[in-house]
Amino acid sequence: MEALECIKTRRSIRKFTDTPVSKETLTAIVEAASMAPSWKNTQIARYNIVENADIKNDIATNATLGFEHNRDIINGAPQLVVVSMIGKRCGYEKDGSFTTSKEDRWEMFDAGIASQTFCLAAHDMGIGSVIMGIFDEDIVSKAVSLPEGEKVAALIAIGYPDQECAAPKRKTTEELMRVL
């Protein structure tokens, strides 16, 4: 698939078949996602693939902050990717000081780029995904036993799509762009 076609046709998929994504396909997706740019090439994103139904259910039941839609998406997906990020690398100099006024907020920027790259690679391979941001970080972190120094950036439900989604209306380029 050509890059622009992939960008223009990727949709957030919220309904999946029961068929899990193979380890080989997951490896290929993560390999592609590893090419995402990051602050000074720090490559802080990590992809924790949750296949265990008990762990997925724990996250869906206890970490979705009462947002039932995310609970249902997680329970309906064969796998859940907990995107984590290694802290205290993006936005820092070697001496520990911040490089810019954005301080450590570069972490989320880099995790976002990595997450979108993951989803585009998945789409290119016929895998559906949706990035979710409504969750309790502490509960998710404990559920997947994140290593010390890592924190949760996003949840991505993945699987083979069981729905087709039309593109929602987009703003015009005139609304989005200013030329100065």
Residue where the block lists tokens 């995904």: 129
**Looking at the chain, how many residues does it have?**
180
Looking at residue 179, what is its pLDDT?
96
Is 131:12 a contact under the CB 8 Å cutoff? yes
Supply 77's token pair. 């997906």
Is 120:48 a contact under the CB 8 Å cutoff? no
The model's confidence at residue 94, banded by pLDDT at 50, 70 and 90, is confident
Residues forming beta bridges with residue 92, ordered by sequence position: 98
Distant-in-sequence, close-in-space partners of 92: CB < 8 Å, separation ≥ 6 = 98, 99, 104
Backbone angles phi, psi at 150, to 5 degrees: -105, 150
Give the closest residue to 83 by CA, choosing from 157, 14, 139: 157
Supply 26's token pair. 């997951």
Q: Region 63-87: what's the mean pLDDT?
A: 97
Looking at residue 174, what is its pLDDT?
96
Question: Whole-prediction pTM value?
Answer: 0.95
Task: Report pLDDT digits (tens) over 1-60.
Answer: 899 999 999 999 999 999 999 999 999 999 999 999 998 999 999 999 999 999 999 999
Task: Report pLDDT digits (tens) over 107-137.
Answer: 999 999 999 999 999 999 999 999 999 999 9
Give the closest residue to 81 by CA, choosing from 165, 16, 163: 16
Q: Region 74-80: what's the mean pLDDT?
A: 98
- DSSP, collapsed to helix, strand or coil, labels residue 73 as helix
For residue 55, the Cα-to-chain-centroid distance in whole angstroms is 18
Segment among 41-45, 92-96, 144-148, 150-154 with least mean pLDDT: 92-96
Asked if pLDDT for residue 165 goes beyond 90, the answer is no
